[in-house]
Every structure is written in structure tokens, then in C-alpha cells.
Structure 1
């Protein structure tokens, strides 16, 4: 059954209600291969504490920790694939209303 809520990360990913291929996990941050990838390499990095979006991220320690994990994941993707893009969505572009950063490589899998 497809998820129909508005915070996949708090509702499903972080509590592991669905299997994930985890790339990194610590007390503050979770990084895993996207469950419905849009690119051949598609890793999502999320804070475990709920933060609505990049615009509402107020905690400097969490911001630094999140960025450090994004940097490590991106460096690995570049080392393995020669390229990476790092992006986050805001407003109507943000399907799941929880800050998440995509680290991706390759051409889109679907149009």
C-alpha cells in the first residue's frame, strides 16, 4: 500500500516501518537509499528530529551534523560515480514535510 501521509520520514523511515538500505545512521541523522528512486543513485539524508524544512532549521548543532553527513555521502557518491548533485525542496516542491536532502547521480529514471 502506498504511503499517503505528509511526513514519510517521521511516519515510516525513522521508525523503520519499511525496510531501508541504510548508508549512515547516528543519534541525529539517517541516510538511506530512496525507497522510490528517481535517479540511479538516490540517497536521502534526514534529521531524526522533526524539522519542517531547510527554512525552519534553527538548531546550529543539528544543521552542522546534517551537513557533515551530506558532505560524507556526497563525497562517496563522487568517488564511486564521478559526479553528484545535492538538493533539497521547499514549499510545494516538498512532497514530504520533513527536511530531507537528496544526494543523487545519473540521469532521471523516469520523465
Structure 2
């Protein structure tokens, strides 16, 4: 599994930086966002360093499928029952702030909704 020694998400996945873990297995780590947009806001990262969706290839399909199937289960377990957002920011123009593929799962009252 490839990692980047300068990547904050690689360091979190390796346990070098603490996080509030929600789920972990040999391929994936899910943890609470330190700047949540809603009552439930978790980040799901592959433990292998994949810089962004641009670098995803057919070999990543099983991992990405697993990630997308895991998200709804975790949101239910975290008490989200009225829907949630699934966001993958890609590249600088797509709003990606950390150069490691990650999926935001955001649920609860919607602060982004117009009042």
C-alpha cells in the first residue's frame, strides 16, 4: 500500500495524528471532521495514498464501491435518518483542500440550505 509521508490523511491513517475514529479496517479509515458543517460530518479515506479522483483507475473500483456502500451504513449508525450529503471534492478548482482522496458524509440539520 502506498503512502505519502507528508500527507496529513496518511499520517492519520497510520495513527501518527489522533482522530475521532468512526470505522477502520485494513483499507479504509472513517473519522469525524475537525471542522464539521453539520451535526454529523465524517471523512472516509482510503489508507492507500490516492491523491484525488483524477488518479482513480479501474483497479480502484472495488475499494470505491466498498466506500460508497459503507457510507450509508455508518450514517444510520451515527443516527442520521433524514438523508445526508456525499461529497468528493476533486482538485483545486473542485475545492479539494487535502491531496488525498476522501469522501465527506454530512448529515443532520442542513446549515447549507437557504432559509
In which range does the TM-score fall when normalised by the shorter chain? 0.7 to 0.9
Question: What is the deviation of 1:24?
Answer: 1.0
Unaligned runs of 5+ in 1: 1-5
Question: What is the deviation of 1:14?
Answer: 0.6
Kindly report the root-mean-square deviation, in angstroms, between the aligned alpha carbons of the 2 structures.
Answer: 2.2
Which deviates more from structure 2 when the two are superposed, residues 60-69 or residues 83-92? 60-69
Is the 1:74–1:86 contact (alpha carbons within 8 Å) kept by the matching residues of 2?
A: no
Is the 2:40–2:80 contact (alpha carbons within 8 Å) kept by the matching residues of 1?
A: no
Question: What is the deviation of 1:20?
Answer: 1.6
Say which SS state the counterpart of residue 80 (structure 2) adopts: helix
Count the aligned residue pairs: 102
Say which SS state the counterpart of residue 27 (structure 1) adopts: coil
Alignment of 1:1-111 (within 5 A): 7-11=7-11, 13-58=12-57, 59-77=60-78, 79-92=79-92, 93-105=95-107, 106=109, 107=111
Residue deviations 1:8-49, cap 9 Å, x none?
2013x1122232221111101111111232322110011110
Give the TM-score of the pair, scaled to structure 1: 0.77
Which deviates more from structure 2 when the two are superposed, residues 91-100 or residues 67-76? 67-76
Unaligned runs of 5+ in 2: 1-5
Aligned to 2:3: none
Q: Distance in 1 between matches of 2:80 and 2:75?
A: 10
